[in-house]
Amino acid sequence: VQLQASGGGLVQAGDSLRVSCAASGRTFRSYDMGWFRQAPGKERDFVAAIMWRSGSTYYTDSVKGRFTISRDNAKNTVYLQMNSLKPEDTAVYYCAAKDPTFVRYSYDRVSDYDYWGQGTQVTVSS
């Protein structure tokens, strides 16, 4: 699976932005997908995940109620809609996919994912 993230940019606090992740491969619908972010000098942190079988979604506490993860299997694309953006949301956003061959029950660790996109920069000015 190859992942291509896009849609980042420079916005003001309170604005909205949607980042996308296009995946190659016919088995995209069988992959759990996640979004992570990494600010300068910090570790890559979990943001959101969506499960392929149930469609269940999970979020880190700081984005609950503001961000929404979704997927369009027909387009092999996963989205992260970000509303009410804050300066602390500034980071490079990465999409990731879990290979369904391996059974892993967690979804919020970098090590849970096998494939990564190149990242897209989101900058929120105050």
pLDDT, averaged in runs of 10, over the chain (126 residues): 95 98 86 96 97 94 98 94 98 95 89 95 97
Would you state the pLDDT for residue 27?
Answer: 79
CB proximity list for 1: less than 8 A, separation 6 or greater: 23, 24, 25, 27, 28, 31, 97, 99, 114, 115
What's residue 104's pLDDT?
82
Per-residue pLDDT at 80: 98
Residue 37 is predicted with a pLDDT of 98
3-state SS, residue 60: coil
d(C-alpha 122, C-alpha 114), whole Å: 23
Region at 41 (left for phi over 0; alpha for psi -120 to 50; beta for the rest)? left
Q: Residue 29: what pLDDT?
A: 84
For residue 78, the model assigns a pLDDT of 97
The pLDDT value recorded for residue 102 is 82
pLDDT for the residue 64: 98
Query: Position 2: which residue type?
Result: Q
